[in-house]
């Protein structure tokens, strides 16, 4: 993970301060949407920032509420709030067509954002996409005792492969049920590219397959990376990401 960029600015939304870094350049503007408990200084966001700078491509990265340099607490956030954060930053900082790139939970936010402003979407790229994860990957894996605990306490902390246990709230689960996207066809007409590792222990690659199947458009490709893990941040995996976005410009 790199250090925080020096050019951070803020968008105000309903009392929240949303941190972002935007660089001008050729369209479509590439927008990176990060994962749960991640931020805009992560490996993939930083790679795309450098990739765009080298090519004169417009690029926007930002932190949801409760993430990175933005205000708020992670435990207060929901999928709907983070979708609205994305829309607020996009509206304030961009014009014209957009190429959205969503990582893990960010791919869920990406889909919801695309459904909200379809007229601006040039293409979508999902990395280890985790739409509906609160229901299919969190709630479905909890036993009866854990389900009772999250209802009673409002939060549950689960082991993480990336350090300290991660907290998930009952509010997040409830709100997630209002924003599920894999239960019906998705009216997304533009090109969609999905990248997923076959050794992803956090989000099975079948989740990206389900997303591909749900999208109504025909220009949808799922690329499986043999041996790839959830982050897909190895040098050859980042090169694949760069080649993928390049093919859509």
Over the stretch 60-83, which tens digit does the pLDDT of each residue have?
999 999 999 999 999 999 999 999
15 domain residue, yes or no:
yes
3-state secondary structure of 43: helix
243 domain residue, yes or no:
yes
- Which of the pair, 160 or 52, is modelled with greater confidence? 52
49 is catalytic: no
Considering 46, 104, 208, 233, which one is annotated as catalytic? Answer: 104
Considering 200, 202, 208, 233, which one is annotated as catalytic? Answer: 200
- Which of the pair, 3 or 178, is modelled with greater confidence? 178
234 domain residue, yes or no:
yes
Q: Residues 192-220: what's their mean pLDDT?
A: 97
**Above 60 in pLDDT, residue 5?**
no
Answering whether pTM is above 0.75, one says yes
* 211: Cβ contacts below 8 Å, ≥ 6 apart: 107, 111, 126, 129, 131, 181, 182, 194
Percent of the chain with pLDDT strictly greater than 90:
92
164 domain residue, yes or no:
no
Average pLDDT of the chain, as a whole number = 95
3-state secondary structure of 3: coil
155 domain residue, yes or no:
no
Do the beta carbons of residue 241 and residue 44 sit within 8 Å?
yes
104 is catalytic: yes
**pLDDT value of position 2:** 46
146 domain residue, yes or no:
no
Task: Output the domain CATH number for residue 96.
Answer: 3.40.50.1820
Q: How far, in Å, CA of 213 to CA of 82, rounded?
A: 25
147 domain residue, yes or no:
no
Domains identified in the chain, total number: 1
230 is catalytic: yes
Query: What domain range is 189 assigned to?
Result: 9-132+182-248
Considering 67, 179, 196, 230, which one is annotated as catalytic? Answer: 230
**pLDDT value of position 183:** 96
Least Cα distance to 223 among 235, 234, 202, 237 occurs for: 237
115 domain residue, yes or no:
yes
């Amino acid at each position: 993970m790199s250090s925080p960029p020096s050019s951070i600015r803020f968008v105000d939304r309903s009392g929240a301060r949303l941190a972002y870094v935007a660089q001008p350049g050729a369209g479509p503007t590439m927008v990176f949407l990060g994962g749960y408990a991640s931020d805009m200084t992560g490996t993939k966001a930083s790679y795309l920032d450098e990739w765009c700078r080298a090519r004169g491509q417009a690029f926007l990265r930002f932190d949801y509420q409760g993430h990175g340099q933005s205000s708020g607490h992670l435990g207060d956030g929901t999928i709907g709030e983070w979708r609205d954060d994305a829309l607020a930053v996009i509206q304030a900082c961009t014009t014209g067509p957009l190429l959205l790139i969503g990582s893990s939970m960010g791919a869920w936010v990406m889909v919801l954002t695309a459904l909200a402003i379809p007229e601006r979407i040039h293409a979508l790229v999902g990395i280890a996409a985790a739409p509906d994860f609160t229901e299919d990957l969190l709630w479905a894996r909890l036993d009866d005792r854990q389900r009772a605990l999250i209802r009673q306490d409002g939060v549950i902390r689960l082991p993480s492969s990336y350090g300290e246990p991660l907290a998930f709230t009952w509010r997040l689960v409830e709100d997630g049920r209002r924003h599920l996207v894999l239960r019906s066809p998705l009216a997304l007409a533009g090109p969609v590219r999905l990248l997923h590792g076959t050794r992803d222990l956090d989000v099975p690659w079948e989740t990206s397959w389900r997303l591909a199947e749900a999208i109504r458009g025909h220009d949808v490709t799922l690329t499986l990376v043999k041996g790839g893990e959830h982050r897909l941040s190895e040098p050859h995996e980042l090169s694949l990401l760069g080649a993928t976005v390049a093919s859509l410009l």
